[in-house]
Amino acid sequence: MLGLRVLIDGSCLGAKEMGTQVQTTSLAAALARRPDVEKVCVALVSDVPRYAAALVAHPKVETCFAPGTDVSGYAPVDIAHRPFQPVDVVHPSWFKVAARTVVTIQDLTSYHVGAYHESSDEWRSTRHAMQHVTAGADGVVVISHDVRSHLALERLPVDPDRVFVVENGTDHLRGDEAESVPTELLARGFVAGRFALVLGTNYAHKNREIAIDVVAELRRRGLALSLVLAGAAVPYGSSRVPEAVRTSGRDDVFTIPDVTSEERNWLLHHADVVLYPTSAEGFGLVPYEAARFGTPTVLVPFGPLGEVVGDLPVKAADWSATALADAAEELLADPATARAQVASALRSGQDYTWDATAAKLVEVYRTLLAAPARGGDAGA
CATH number, domain with residue 69:
3.40.50.2000
pLDDT at 6 over 90: yes
- How many domains is the chain built from? 2
**Inside any domain, residue 109:** yes
Rounded CA separation 367/282 (Å): 24
pLDDT band of residue 379 (cuts 50, 70, 90) is: very low
User: CA 171: distance to chain centroid?
Assistant: 13
Q: Do 209 and 309 sit in the same domain of this protein? A: yes
pLDDT for the residue 246: 94
pLDDT for the residue 18: 84
**Inside any domain, residue 177:** no
Q: Do 138 and 51 sit in the same domain of this protein? A: yes
Instruction: Pick the closest to residue 130 from 161, 116, 109, 149 (CA basis).
Output: 109
Q: Do 89 and 132 sit in the same domain of this protein? A: yes
Q: Do 284 and 364 sit in the same domain of this protein? A: no
pLDDT at 63 over 50: yes
**Inside any domain, residue 36:** yes
Which range is most confident: 11-25, 34-48, 60-74, 76-90? 34-48
Q: Do 161 and 305 sit in the same domain of this protein? A: no
Q: Do 127 and 191 sit in the same domain of this protein? A: no
pLDDT for the residue 380: 38
Q: Do 213 and 274 sit in the same domain of this protein? A: yes
**Inside any domain, residue 174:** no
pLDDT at 336 over 90: yes
Q: Do 297 and 358 sit in the same domain of this protein? A: no
Helix axes 240-247, 208-220, angle to 10 degrees: 20
Give residue-wise pLDDT tens across range 142-172: 999 999 999 999 999 999 999 999 999 999 9
pLDDT at 310 over 50: yes
Q: Do 13 and 39 sit in the same domain of this protein? A: yes
pLDDT at 38 over 90: yes
**Inside any domain, residue 178:** no
**Inside any domain, residue 176:** no
Helices (DSSP H) in the chain: which residue ranges?
19-33, 53-56, 92-97, 109-112, 120-136, 145-153, 183-187, 208-220, 240-247, 261-270, 286-292, 303-308, 321-333, 335-349, 354-369
Rounded CA separation 106/22 (Å): 13
Long-range contacts of 206-211 (CB under 8 A, 24+ apart): 206/231, 206/239, 206/277, 206/278, 207/239, 207/277, 207/278, 207/279, 207/319, 208/239, 208/243, 208/277, 209/239, 209/242, 209/243, 209/246, 210/277, 210/319, 210/320, 210/321, 210/324, 211/275, 211/277, 211/324
Lowest pLDDT segment from 94-98, 186-190, 267-271? 186-190
Residue range 209-236: mean pLDDT, rounded: 95
**Inside any domain, residue 380:** no
Rounded CA separation 85/100 (Å): 18
Q: Do 274 and 142 sit in the same domain of this protein? A: no
Rounded CA separation 180/18 (Å): 17
Q: Do 134 and 201 sit in the same domain of this protein? A: no
Q: Do 330 and 362 sit in the same domain of this protein? A: no
- Domain of 328 in residue numbering reads as 183-349
pLDDT band of residue 72 (cuts 50, 70, 90) is: confident
- pTM for the whole thing? 0.91
**Inside any domain, residue 307:** yes
Instruction: Pick the closest to residue 51 from 77, 73, 20 (CA basis).
Output: 20
What is the spatial order of strands in the sheet that 139-142 belongs to?
61-65, 37-44, 4-9, 77-82, 98-105, 139-142, 163-165
